[in-house]
Chain A
Amino acid sequence: MNLMDVNPDWAWAAYEPSTNSPWNLDAVAHLFRRGGFGAPRKRLVESVENVPAEVVESLFSAEEPEAFQREMQTLIRAAIATGNVRQLAAQWVYRMLHTPAPLKEKMTLFWHGHFATSDEKVGDVRLMQTQNNLLRKYALGDFKALTLEISRDPAMLLYLDSATNRKSHPNENYAREIMELFCLGEGMYTEQDIQELARCFTGWEIKRERYRFNRYQHDSGTKTVLGVRGVESGEEAIGVVTEHPAAPRFLARKLFQFFVMDEPGPTDELLVPITRQLSDDRMNIGPTVQRILGSNLFFSPLARARKVRSPVELGVGFLRTFEGTTDFFQLAGAMYQLGQGLYQPPSVKGWDGGRTWINSSTLLGRANLIQRVLNGNKTRFGKQSLNEYFEANGVDSVEDIAEILEISLFAVPIPRPAIERVKALVTASEGSNWVNLAVHAFCTLPEFQVA
């Protein structure tokens, strides 16, 4: 089957298990990887007893209990007090790993890459976290409201120079990016639209780390944005941009790439049903994400192993699958080295993902990340060493390790020759922590890089 031949109506219809894509442990593991950061084997075994739609629904209904939220508040305060962005990143990695609502964190990560803002320019971890809270609040919610709030978010205002946007010289930076990168895509607007839109945003400033409107710096003259005449305020202008017909298609494409596959890119035709849904839901994101994660196409072989693990997915996924915990500060640093620094995306375009995660240096870095985690003295799996954890789960040979990795972590089978070769490595190493060695070797295989 080829993506070009897929019928859009079938693609986005509710998943019906078939011989081609049965509802089994692989399917459940796929759902948990894409809709979160993976899950331990016992969770997969429980879930496969349920019907698919209910398991998908459980991702959406999951919430962080109050105690967990309080714990996170404490960690956030402590991280902000250090003023160190890496500490803030460590706190978020912790949350992704321990949250009972991983889809919400996954979507927060999606928005972080979408409304990409970097502390490297903002230089204020408190403002970075304020933005992060905003992204989480609207993670599966109203895109129009999120866009309005992000447009007044102090970190964003600083990042795209909107904070110095004056009547006499409107700053075009935010006006351009809100159309090109946040809502519509390149080519859906003119240079004239950018200039007019920038005028709408004049007078949007920051005072004492908060947004405020300075009417003396606002250009209240007549503006025409995207063919709509008489747009006055920035608020109205955001309404015009987010209600433009290109917006639902633009977001549908991004969600497709994030949840379903890196490549090839879908045709507009394939996206029609979910584009229409976004539009019918007035850009409320949740129902469309639920439709995607519960669809025929999502569970079909076409979508399996078609995403390159991002560094965050790689690190958090590995630990979450084996109920692990580690030195989060170091892990956040490793993710940064591999190209995905949290609170530090490389540019306003966010992370391109897919093949761009992969090159010689990152592949070696990914292998080294797993090795560091495995051998870190703060690393525990279910409060034990990995050997003990595996023993408790009935894993006591290289074959068993391959099997448990394959079920929960790998999207494609581990090739037989790889298992033989790892056995040989283990034999040659004469017993010194063979579990770590075998896991490290398997996680250095090309197969491990795709999810």
Chain B
Amino acid sequence: MEFELRSRSVEKKMTRRSLLGHTGQGASLLTFGVTAPGVLCDAATLATEQRILVVVEMAGGNDGLNTVVPIRDEIYRKARPNLAISSDDALSINDALGLHPSMRGMADLLEDGKLSIVQGVGYENPNRSHFESMDIWHSCQRKTEQRQNGWIGRYLESAQLSHLSDPPALHLGKRQQPLALMSRDVRVPSIQSLEQFRLRAAKSPDLRDAIRALSSQSRAGASDLLGFVQASSRNAMDASERMESAGVQYKPSEAYPETTLGRELETIAKLIASGLETRVYYVRIDGFDTHANQPGAHSVLLRSVSDAVGTLVRDVNAQGDGDRLLVMCFSEFGRRVAENASDGTDHGAAGPVLLAGNGVKAGVVGEHPRLDDLQSGDLKHRIDFRQVYTAILQQWLKCDASSVLGAVYDPVAVFSRS
């Protein structure tokens, strides 16, 4: 088995080299679309820098207008007699904008030059269904297209990270795996805590090896489904072994918030500190669907994200890996400009994406969406979310974004260097 794996990776490398030889810069490969082989990703750069992306999914539709607040806008105040954040309370970004008062953690990052606020991100013909819109953000495909994988899954495939001894990506959380991480060839483990990577088998230390070996044998007439479970079982045994040895030495430089998200980000910091080669970490915080009684709930949620992300960025810097870290916080849509009668807001369209890390260009990127030019009561986007992905894929992960996203998008200028 060992031997088989090795020969396969050699084959991949050769393919890569020979293809590069033929295509030079690789521009002509753009026509390969989403299924393009991963020859365009600069694996060498990745290997030396090992940059990390942490994705924080804010599920439910975050109210972007009360996250990055247009403090001087009269239309905003009129549309939200009960919910508007006053300019006195907001944490100032500039003359026109302020962060929600509970976002102290993000405000500190901004001050440190480690937060980039990308304004008015969305897509054409916005879908206001949570699941539809989330699936669009995850897969970059509309419902009419076959959606079997996600943008990160496709990145993992094309980046050819099979040489890594660790899972290329990890999903933390008890919920089902996000579509963004799905791909045909690369399986991403989900964990809730490191404890869950221990196979309980007190009396039989050989069980893991046995299952790994048995999962590797091909079955005559096995369905795709069983084949999938076999591959996943093998992966599970491998991952279990690595996790057990990882992260014994780590001590956080400061206390993480005592929230689920805080604990998850602390686990990520621990895995990074223990030298795990994982490139993408994915976490999710739910509850942003604030149809009713928004102020209290939204405040708690934003504080939770803001404090946890702030702590992560500082802690990873203290551990010496700060330059490798990028955090992206996004939501499937923003919310309607006008508040509803339940002190809440209904599903909307464009919203901000927050990027944190040493490498970002600090400040506001793009213009705040106009409140006097709406679509069915919702904000129009000015930046397509795939422009944000393109910047991350191309400039952060050093990968050909168009082969992952299936088309060429102008990257948003969110990095101070690349």
Contacts and interface: CB of A to CB of B under 8 A. Distances in A.
B175 A360 contact: no
A358 B196 contact: no
Contact of A171 (B207, B211, B213, B291): B291
Interface string A161-178: 100101011011100100
B210 A441 contact: yes
Interface in A123-179: 161, 164, 166, 168-169, 171-173, 176
A186 B132 contact: yes
Bin chain B's interface residue count: 35 or more
B200 A367 contact: yes
Candidate in A191, A346, A360, A361 with the most chain B CB atoms within 10 angstroms: A360
B210 A421 contact: yes
B293 to A, nearest CB: 8
A230 B167 CA distance: 57
13 contacts: A164-B291, A180-B129, A186-B132, A308-B225, A337-B174, A346-B175, A360-B239, A364-B240, A367-B199, A412-B219, A417-B217, A444-B233, A450-B225
B235 interface: yes
B225 A368 contact: no
Nearest to A163: B292
A437 interface: yes
Interface in B139-171: 143, 167, 171
A365 B190 CA distance: 11
Contact of B224 (A263, A349, A364): A263
A337 B229 contact: no
A446 B229 contact: yes
Given A172-B347, A359-B171, A368-B199, 16 more contacts: A164-B292, A171-B291, A171-B342, A305-B223, A359-B187, A359-B190, A360-B167, A361-B236, A362-B190, A363-B236, A367-B200, A368-B200, A415-B217, A425-B207, A440-B201, A450-B223
B197 interface: yes
Contacts of A339: 174-176
Contacts of A428: 204, 206
Candidate in B143, B224, B340 with the most chain A CB atoms within 10 angstroms: B340
A356 B150 CA distance: 14
A364 to B, nearest CB: 5
Q: Which 6 pairs across A and B sit closest by C-beta, in order of nearness?
A: A169-B341, A360-B189, A360-B236, A164-B342, A363-B236, A169-B340
Contact of B214 (A351, A362, A417): A417
A183 to B, nearest CB: 14
A433 B201 CA distance: 12
A359 B232 contact: yes
B137 to A, nearest CB: 15
Contacts of B384: none
A364 B226 contact: no
Interface of B: 128-132, 143, 167, 171, 174-177, 187-192, 196-201, 203-204, 206-207, 210-211, 213-215, 217, 219, 222-226, 228-230, 232-233, 235-236, 239-240, 286, 289, 291-292, 340-342, 344, 346-347, 376
A356 B223 contact: no
Nearest to A339: B176
Contacts of B236: 359-361, 363-364
A415 B230 CA distance: 13
A161 B225 contact: no
Contacts of B224: 263
Interface in A359-379: 359-365, 367-368, 371-372
B214 to A, nearest CB: 5
A306 interface: yes
B196 A361 contact: yes
Contacts of B226: 305, 412, 446-447, 450
Nearest to A411: B226
Contacts of A337: 174, 192, 196
A445 interface: yes
Contacts of B203: 429, 432-433, 437
B204 A441 contact: yes
A262 B347 CA distance: 31
Candidate in A180, A421, A424 with the most chain B CB atoms within 10 angstroms: A421
Contacts of A180: 129, 131
Contact of A446 (B188, B190, B192, B233): B233
A375 to B, nearest CB: 9
Nearest to A158: B292
Interface string A431-442: 011000100110
Contacts of A306: 223, 225
Contact of B176 (A173, A346, A445): A346
A412 B232 CA distance: 18
Given A364-B196, A367-B200, A444-B211, A449 B291 contact: no
A248 to B, nearest CB: 21
B176 A356 contact: yes
A422 interface: yes
A236 interface: no
A171 B344 CA distance: 10
Interface in A361-403: 361-365, 367-368, 371-372
Contacts of B192: 337, 361
